[in-house]
Amino acid sequence: MPQFMDVHHGMKGITADQLKEAHEADLAVEKDEGVHFERAWADPDSGNVYCLSEAPSAEAVKRVHERTGHPADEIHQVPLSIW
């Protein structure tokens, strides 16, 4: 399944609880779209949040984030990865 990195801007001051709450909201509806959000990282200073997911398409990722009230500003398929 393709992997995606999506980015949210403007989340300055986000707390650990807010990140967890947003992630759990995504997990609660992701199956409807065949998406799985694997990890998320947040920088409260710049307000950037990065979410790594597996999904059938960027549109599916977009729909999950929209439904849970935090639309992504960028969604990039990342066919290349190293770990």
List residues binding a copy of itself (CB under 8 A): 3, 5, 14-16, 19-20, 23, 38-46, 48, 50, 52, 76-83
Instruction: Indicate the residue among 2 and 71 with the shorter CB distance to a copy of itself.
Output: 2
State the nearest-atom distance from the C-beta of 27 to a copy of itself, in Å. Answer: 10
| DSSP per position, 6-38 | EEE---TT--HHHHHHHHHHHHHHGGGGT-EEE
CA atoms within 13 A on the CB side of 30: 19
State the nearest-atom distance from the C-beta of 21 to a copy of itself, in Å. Answer: 10
Instruction: Indicate the residue among 16 and 69 with the shorter CB distance to a copy of itself.
Output: 16
State the nearest-atom distance from the C-beta of 55 to a copy of itself, in Å. Answer: 14
- What's the rounded Cα separation, in Å, for the pair 35 and 45? 28
- What's the rounded Cα separation, in Å, for the pair 62 and 15? 23
Instruction: Indicate the residue among 52 and 71 with the shorter CB distance to a copy of itself.
Output: 52
